[in-house]
Amino acid sequence: MFSKTKIETSMKDICAKIQEADAIVIGAGAGLSTAAGYEYAGERFNRYFSDFEEKYGIHDMYSGGFYPYDTLEEYWAWWSRQVYYNRYVDHLDLYQKLFQLVKDKDYFVLTTNVDHCFQKANFDKQRLFYTQGDYGLFQCSSPCHQETYDNEELIKKMIEQQKNMKIPTSLIPYCPHCGKPMTMNLRCDDTFVEDEGWHQAYFRYQDFIRRHQDLKIVYLELGVGQNTPGIIKYPFFRFVERNKNATYICINKDTYCPQSMEKRAYCISEDIKNVIDDLLKIKLEK
């Protein structure tokens, strides 16, 4: 049984749990980046994609990523914008405050976000596991091999040189091995490339969980929705239920937890940015 009862508690209690913990695992979903300013719809979408909306009736960045564009020139005009404005234009204030909150702790970050914000906000790269890919990487569309490629230089050229919703044909990226078109390293089907870096991060995450499984550990879940609950939310439930020393903290618009762990859970249905601001203020006042 799950409880949707909003557990009322003070920010001081939550801050104390974080500061007293032996370790913290942060599980971050799309809601965290939305709170940071990376909205995929509304005014921000209209600012960068109004021409695509007018031509195709696309109303948000998520949907536009799946649209079957007629040409690779148009496909990459879309994707270069989506990558550039969500990967290479920074909105890091919230992430930097989150880092200040946990930087003195033994932490690890598990995230389904692909915008690279944790690393840009000074989180240790060796303590990050991006399960679903990275806007900053290309891969072969087949894929014929399990490698990824940095795309910053080419993406910026696409942004600078595109006209009429198309990039120059000369900028279309092709696989250096088989010659097929490249695509984004984002998990959307079984062609997603899990390269060596992905597997190393997976190992480090599993090792962190194993080493801390019986200690006083906080599982801090931020902005995780129902698209992929099996990656962060449900494993966090299992970890907390198995460890009587563990605490579950969830900050999101819609929060819940199993009734069996309610006494060790804090479900805060408030704006993530406001909650992190409050927690950091309490920490700095001590």
Give pLDDT, residue 1. Answer: 43
Do 223 and 268 belong together in one domain? yes
The CATH number of residue 258's host domain is 3.40.50.1220
Task: Report the candidate in 240, 246, 232, 243 with the shortest Cα–Cα distance to residue 258.
Answer: 240
Total tally of structural domains belonging to the chain: 2
In angstroms, the CA 9 to CA 14 distance is 8
In angstroms, the CA 26 to CA 55 distance is 40
Do 276 and 151 belong together in one domain? no
Do 146 and 241 belong together in one domain? no
Do 259 and 153 belong together in one domain? no
Do 159 and 282 belong together in one domain? no
Q: Among 186, 208, 227, give the residue marking a domain's end.
A: 186
Do 34 and 141 belong together in one domain? no
Do 100 and 237 belong together in one domain? yes
Could you tell me the maximum CA-CA distance found in the chain, to the nearest angstrom?
Answer: 60
What is the span of the domain harbouring residue 249? Answer: 1-38+92-132+194-286
Give pLDDT, residue 9. Answer: 58
Q: Among 147, 162, 186, give the residue marking a domain's end.
A: 186
In angstroms, the CA 272 to CA 283 distance is 16
- DSSP letters, the chain, are -EE-------HHHHHHHHHH-SEEEEEE-HHHHHHHT--SBTHHHHHHHHHHHHHH---BHHHHTT---SSHHHHHHHHHHHHIIIIIS---HHHHHHHHHHTTS-EEEEE---S-HHHHTT--GGGEEETTEEEEEEEESS-SSS--EE-HHHHHHHHHH-BTTB--GGG--B-TTT-PBEEEEE-SSTT----HHHHHHHHHHHHHHHHHTTSSEEEEEES--SSSTTTTHHHHHHHHHH-TT-EEEEESSS--EEGGGGGGEEEE-S-HHHHHHHHHHHHHH-
How many CB atoms lie under 10 A from the CB of residue 53?
14
Tokens describing residue 52: 């695509």
Give pLDDT, residue 8. Answer: 44
Sign of CA pseudo-dihedral 43, 44, 48, 51? negative
Do 162 and 252 belong together in one domain? no
Give pLDDT, residue 254. Answer: 87
How wide is the angle at C-alpha 72 spanned by C-alphas 56 and 47, nearest 5°?
45
pLDDT tens, position by position, 223-270:
999 888 999 999 999 999 999 999 999 999 888 899 999 999 999 999
- List CB contacts of 160: < 8 A, sequence separation 6 or more: none
How many CB atoms lie under 10 A from the CB of residue 103?
12
Do 24 and 145 belong together in one domain? no
The CATH number of residue 81's host domain is 3.30.1600
Query: Which residues of the chain fall short of a pLDDT of 50?
Result: 1-8
Do 208 and 112 belong together in one domain? yes
Do 169 and 250 belong together in one domain? no
Q: Among 162, 186, 210, give the residue marking a domain's end.
A: 186
pTM of the model: 0.94
Do 176 and 254 belong together in one domain? no
